[in-house]
Amino acid sequence: MLRTLSGTALITVLLATSAIAQNAKAIVATASKTIGADGLNSITYSGSATTGNFGQSQAIAGPLAVTTITNYPRAIDLAQPASRASGATMPPATPGGPPPQPGTFNQNITPANAAWTQQLEIWVTPWAFLRGATANNATVRSERADGKTYKVVSWMPPQKAPSGQPYRVNGYINDQNLIERVETWVEHPVLGDLHVDTFYSNYQDFGGVKVPTKIIQKRADLTTFEATIASAKPNPSNLTELLTPPPPAAGAPSGAPAGPPPSQPAQSEKLADGVYRITGNYSAVAVEFSDHIVVLEGGQSEARGLAVIAETRRVIPNKPIRYLVNTHAHFDHASGLAPFAAEGITIITHENNKAYLEKALSGPRTLVGDTLAQSNRKPKIESAGDKRILQDGTRSIELHHVENLAHSNGMLVAYLPKEKILFTADFNVPAPGQPVSPAIGTLVQNIDRLKLDFDKHVLVHPPNPDRVMTKADLLELAKGTK
């Protein structure tokens, strides 16, 4: 009898699942017909746009500074799939800085860019979303949000996250059978399962295809992209031309987002007794105390963070790492925090960053598959205000907040008074022929205010050739800001 009931229950579940799939298929078919996606293999549209400096804002939780993109065209080949978007950019003015310089936005996605971090930009568009739903056994549910009822269609792409888990895409279809919103999640070294939410409104008909003339994309609830579409054309005859980027001009800047440089093998040099600079394109410093170690800066990636931990333990064996000092929360300086948090090492950051990093590193990490996800630890994060001192009977480290800095309102510098060493991030030596950043002048003003006397200046981003700078070097550089 039990076996019969189990079989009956299984049949009921299968029938219900089949009904849901059939219902989703019908809903997708109706939406495709409504927006003219049937027979649509490619599309191009144009207008104007803006991008937000996600992960690089003065206040890490926002608001984001906005770069404008004029003459913004985008072409999408739904069959490959592939996409190309471009435009002329103008970044925002920085208080006290030089006038912003124009640049070029250039986003190219081809089948070779198979990672979901790239491909999602195609699949969250209304037409590609419906094509993906048709091909990937979509399901549907009803959901009420903001006073409206939506048919929420969900499907999973064939790509898998680094953790091995599938990605998921949800499309919100309104009572007019138009897609108002598409959301997905992607792995992120700081934020874990990063929520990417794209909103569509003000649909207009262009050549029989309905196109949203307002597009807003948010990441972690911050607006990172916004476009106003003025024209569109389905199945353009010059698709190949539209998808082919021009050859880059020598030295021309690109508006395409660039990832951090690849991590370099960790090596070290002794700066003083018990103080070691761990070299690489993101330098760190390991400082030995009587019964523990403090590390300054975790690096730009999990791999770099792990390498810094390993090198620290090689040069200072048999003592635990108690603290990791995060200079500031910009993503290229916070992406190496996860392995430290995974080991229970306390992260110290400025108080303006603390709540953001606590939330970011404590969130779901089902897609990342990194050491923090595997550890199931809750990160331990402490803050520093205007000044915090780490000390014992052997030495001290002073952590100071850099005031009036346009780059970040949560920037710390570390000062070792006994050894006369100053450690800073993002106060960089410019390449030959490039202007000196106004941030250098701000740093010198803070050094004068704090009366910091140092001989060695260690930069997270070392100059070329790689070396430890001096106070005299910094003061000479600062002359270029006056």
| pTM: predicted TM-score of the whole model, two decimal places | 0.91
Beta strands 42-52 and 381-384 are unpaired
pLDDT for the residue numbered 279: 95
Distance set, CA 98 to CA 70, 101, 315, 437 (Å): 21, 9, 43, 8
Same fold, 25-243 and 267-481: no
The tally of CA atoms less than 13 A away on the side-chain side of residue 293 is 26
Sequence ranges of the domains in the chain? 25-243, 267-481
pLDDT for the residue numbered 169: 98
Mean pLDDT by 10 residues, the chain (482 residues): 44 43 88 96 98 96 96 97 97 77 94 95 98 96 92 97 98 98 98 98 98 98 98 98 82 44 76 96 96 97 97 97 98 98 98 98 97 96 98 96 96 98 96 90 97 97 95 92 77
Identify the CATH assignment for 25-243 out of 2.50.20, 1.10.1740, 3.40.50, 1.10.533.
2.50.20
pLDDT for the residue numbered 414: 98
Q: In the 3-class helix/strand/coil scheme, how is 185-221 assigned residue by residue?
A: EEEECCCEEEEEEEEEEEEEEECCEEEEEEEEEEECC
pLDDT for the residue numbered 256: 39
pLDDT for the residue numbered 262: 58
Name residues whose C-beta falls within 8 Å of residue 187's C-beta, 6 or more positions apart in sequence.
Answer: 117, 161, 162, 163, 193, 194, 367, 368, 369
Distance set, CA 244 to CA 113, 116, 158, 405 (Å): 15, 22, 26, 40
Distance set, CA 116 to CA 122, 347, 475 (Å): 10, 30, 46
Peptide bond into 465 cis (omega under 30): yes
pLDDT for the residue numbered 264: 60
Q: Could you give the CA distance from residue 227 to residue 232 in angstroms, rounded to a whole number?
A: 13
Amino acid, single-letter form, for residue 310: A
Q: Could you give the CA distance from residue 364 to residue 44 in angstroms, rounded to a whole number?
A: 36
CATH topology of domain 267-481: Metallo-beta-lactamase; Chain A (3.60.15)
